[in-house]
Amino acid sequence: MAMESGFLAAAGIGYLVASASYGAHILVREPRLALCGRIAAIVGVVCHTAAIGVHCATTHHTPFTTPDETLSASAWAIVLAYLALDLFFRQPALGAVVQPIAFLCLFTGAVLHRARMAQPMQPPRDIDSGMINLHVIAILFAFGLLVLAFGCAVLYLAQHSMLKKKRSGSLFGKLPPLATIDQLAFGLVAFAFPLLTIGIIAGAIRASGGGFPHGWAVDPKILLSAVTWVVYGVYLGLHALAHWRGPRANYLLIGGLLIALATYFAPTGVHRFG
């Protein structure tokens, strides 16, 4: 437990340093700050991976059996997704948005974990299976990609607002072009949507096989997941078929992520996995 906590603390520091470095890079446009942020993110995700490995080895459970563990795993997926994107597209401005989200997920997970430790321990239901693992892993990485798309939407709306108000302040010209951000967001959602679909289908297949409470199909988390799927499906359809662009499309991305976040805290009698 102490080793896991130490690795998680190191990961949190790495994510925090990455957040500060990428944010400072936007303000002063210093390449070394972007490099510092990249290195800090890599160190953070390596420590986070070690913490997950220690957790699995000591508990013999997957690292997403509780809401706090799922938030921590989500932070890990977000940073991994960003670093993978960073290999091909150098977008430090995006790092300034998504790295703080990863840090907040990890920090919130740590707070919830401490609160849970103060309560009587209840073992998770033993329904571990390949389908459950596929369900959760697909959802986690879909969420990581959707956070990146959210970051693109924030950057798009910030630059669009500056253009509309004809303001060319310190941030103007330091953000990626609107067309680049829009296309990157679409690509991220296009990758995330199949993962989200696979995750939902895998969960439904496992639930229909038995071992879940009666009425699992109307569990709040499941309903919100379905709403999230519809929102992003509408976004993809409008973007690809109706050439939907601009602020409305990006507001839809922000709304979709807020709905996805709501699934973490929705009351549930289903999502406790062993």
Looking at per-residue confidence, does 214 or 179 come out higher?
179
Percent of all residues in the chain with a pLDDT value above 70, rounded to a whole number: 84
Confidence of residue 196 (pLDDT cuts 50, 70, 90): very high
- Between these two residues, 122 and 14, which has the higher pLDDT value? 14
Closest CA to 67 of 10, 119, 131, 3: 119
Q: Would you kindly state where each structural domain of the chain is located, as residue ranges?
A: 1-122, 125-274
Residue 201's contacts (CB-CB under 8 Å, 6 or more residues apart) are none
Answer whether residue 66 shows pLDDT above 80: no
Exposure on the CB side of residue 239, measured as CA atoms within 13 A: 25
Q: Is pLDDT above 60 for 125?
A: no
Q: Which residues contact 94 (CB under 8 A, 6 or more apart)?
A: 82, 85, 148, 151, 152, 155, 176, 184
If you average pLDDT over residues 182-188, what whole number do you get? 93
Per-residue pLDDT at 274? 44
Is the CB of residue 162 less than 8 Å from the CB of residue 168? Answer: yes
Give me the pLDDT at residue 268, please.
62
Average pLDDT of the residues of the chain = 83
Categorize the per-residue pLDDT at 120 as very low, low, confident or very high, splitting at 50, 70 and 90. Answer: low
What is the topology classification, in CATH, of domain 1-122?
Four Helix Bundle (Hemerythrin (Met), subunit A) (1.20.120)
pLDDT, one tens digit per residue, over 201-225 is: 888 787 776 656 565 566 777 888 8
What count of residues does the chain have?
274
pLDDT tens across 248-270, in order?
889 999 999 999 888 877 766 55
Q: Which of 98, 99, 110, 104 is nearest to 66 (CA)?
A: 110
Cα gap 204→202, rounded to integer Å: 5
Distance CA 66, CA 136 (A): 12
Amino acid at 20: A
pLDDT-derived band at 273, boundaries 50, 70, 90: very low
pLDDT value at residue 115 = 75
Listing DSSP states for 175-204 in one string gives SPPHHHHHHHHHHHHHHHHHHHHHHHHHHH
Average pLDDT of span 142-171: 82
The tokens 């997941």 sit on which residue? 225
pLDDT tens profile 86-108: 888 888 889 999 999 999 999 99
Packed helices 92-117 and 31-59: angle between N→C axes, nearest 10 degrees: 30
